[in-house]
């Protein structure tokens, strides 16, 4: 089940929110959310519900033991089990493909269906275990608390990756308020519109271009496809995150922000402060710092940075394209670390040349990320910088530039910037602020109507990050 499906929007969500609001007993509320989350997951992955519950049970047992006995061996065993689960379901085929590069090897590549959301809930499980080991969690955490934390449906499938510490108080006791409901509904609809009205529109162009043979693509079409995919993945993923945050707000949970206008960054370093912030935070806290962070000299800092970004790339998928994407960002992060040493605010202030450089890295990186193979990726990038003009490609290029697409592109570019928040913050008159706030809810209502029309037109596309 996905947030932008009719079943979720018109049946599952209203029933769950209504019952959760009416019920006042927190334990019953938690039971409702656990049942709803398992139904939500079973709708798309009925076979793997047992795997999810089993993962929670194993991590709960390790957590109970580690809460009374601080053992590095037990901590290592729990992490190995979690990573092993991820390796078996996500990377077995990829590992076999690598082994088959050896001339004497010709193993059959297993076809293993990856459980939806396994990358996200495995990372949450690891963070819980590590925090228990560090004594950041109490000993009185119950099994159903951990089950709710890991399986909670708003963030189960594609994040944000939430620390238990950030929502444990809400699990124990939370208030559902009208303000929280109103804010959550508004946030959810904005996220839905990012997916339905923007991401899906850009996806049509990006998918069309990336399905073409690179020999039929010239510079104009290559850049159009690359930019459209860059916009698509942002609105697709940030839209899902906004919906998750909105759902959390409706039910009294405060999830961490996952995006902060990443396409306004003027350095790759600042981009990663703004893009998929919960994943960046997880790698910093549970990998980069344990490796030594920046405390062991510049050489070790660069090595640790590269390890983190290699892992970031691999986390996204079992393909050399994701690995190269991670390495690309890691290399530029290291270069910036060397060049901007002692400049803590580097990349935070707007600079035209720095912005162009950053967006070039981001866009080219996403071409590699989107491509089915490394060969196609590098061939596509070559077309982006080839001045050969193809009349057939120009015809396709102009065919995409419809009035609707141009309006959508302008709206998308504006939505990538904090223009609206800046304007809102600049308004000081109380009456005008009240009027604009009311007007914003009218606009959100109109957006919801457009989204429903999109559903009726069967313009659904799955979220990109469901694959990870």
What are the catalytic residues?
Answer: 316
Structure tokens at 19: 């019952």
Q: Which of 461, 465, 467, 468 is nearest to 207 (CA)?
A: 461
Q: How far apart are the first and last CA of the chain?
A: 16
Is the distance from CB of 123 to CB of 161 less than 8 angstroms?
Answer: yes
Q: Kindly report the CA angle at 267 between 264 and 270, in degrees rounded to 5?
A: 70
Q: How many CB atoms lie within 10 A of CB 426?
A: 7
Supply the Cα-derived Rg of the chain in whole angstroms. 23
Phi-psi region of 162 (alpha: psi -120 to 50; beta: other; left: phi over 0): beta
Q: How many CB atoms lie within 10 A of CB 94?
A: 18
Give the C-alpha distances (Å, rounded to integers) separating 419 from 272, 413, 415, 422, 423.
21, 10, 8, 5, 6
Is the distance from CB of 369 to CB of 322 less than 8 angstroms?
Answer: yes
Distance of CA 369 to the CA centre of its chain: 14
Structure tokens at 38: 């398992």
């Amino acid at each position: 089940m996905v947030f932008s499906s009719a079943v979720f929007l018109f049946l599952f969500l209203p029933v769950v929110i209504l019952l959760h609001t009416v019920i006042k007993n927190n334990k019953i509320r938690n039971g409702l959310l656990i049942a709803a989350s398992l139904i939500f997951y079973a709708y798309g992955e009925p076979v793997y519900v047992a795997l999810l519950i089993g993962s929670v049970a194993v991590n709960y047992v390790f957590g109970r033991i580690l809460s009374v006995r601080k053992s590095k061996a037990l901590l290592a065993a729990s992490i190995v089990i979690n990573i092993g689960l991820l390796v078996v379901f996500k990377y077995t085929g990829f590992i076999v493909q690598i082994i088959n590069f050896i001339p004497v090897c010709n193993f059959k590549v297993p076809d293993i269906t990856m459980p939806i959301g396994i990358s996200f809930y495995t990372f949450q499980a690891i963070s819980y275990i590590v925090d228990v080991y560090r004594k950041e969690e109490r000993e009185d955490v119950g099994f159903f608390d951990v089950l709710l934390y890991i399986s909670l449906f708003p963030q189960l499938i594609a994040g944000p990756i939430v620390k238990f510490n950030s929502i444990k108080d809400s699990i124990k006791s939370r208030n559902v308020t009208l303000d929280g409901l109103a804010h959550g509904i508004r946030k959810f609809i904005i996220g839905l519109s990012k997916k339905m009205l923007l991401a899906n529109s850009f996806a049509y162009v990006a998918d069309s271009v990336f399905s073409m043979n690179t020999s039929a693509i010239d510079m104009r079409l290559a850049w159009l496809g690359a930019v459209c995919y860059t916009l698509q993945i942002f609105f697709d993923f940030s839209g899902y995150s906004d919906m998750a945050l909105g759902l959390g707000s409706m039910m009294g949970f405060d999830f961490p922000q996952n995006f902060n206008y990443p396409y306004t960054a003027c350095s790759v370093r600042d981009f990663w402060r703004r893009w998929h912030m919960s994943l960046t935070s997880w790698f910093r806290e549970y990998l980069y710092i344990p490796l030594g962070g920046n405390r062991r000299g510049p050489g070790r800092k660069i090595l640790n940075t590269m390890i983190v970004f290699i892992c970031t790339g691999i986390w996204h998928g079992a393909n050399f394209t994701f690995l190269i994407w991670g390495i690309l960002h890691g290399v530029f992060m290291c270069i910036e670390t060397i060049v901007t040493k002692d400049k803590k605010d580097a990349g935070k202030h707007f600079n035209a040349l720095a912005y162009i450089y950053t967006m070039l890295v981001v866009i080219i990186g996403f071409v590699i990320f989107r491509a089915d193979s490394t060969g196609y990726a590098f061939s596509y990038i070559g077309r982006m910088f080839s001045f050969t003009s193809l009349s057939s490609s120009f015809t396709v290029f102009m065919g995409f530039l419809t009035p609707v697409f141009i309006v959508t592109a302008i709206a998308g570019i504006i939505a990538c910037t904090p223009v609206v928040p800046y304007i809102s913050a600049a308004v000081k008159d109380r009456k005008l602020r009240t009027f604009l706030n009311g007007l914003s809810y009218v606009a959100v209502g109109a957006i919801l109507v457009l989204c429903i029309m999109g559903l009726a037109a069967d313009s659904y596309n799955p979220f990109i990050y469901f694959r990870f």
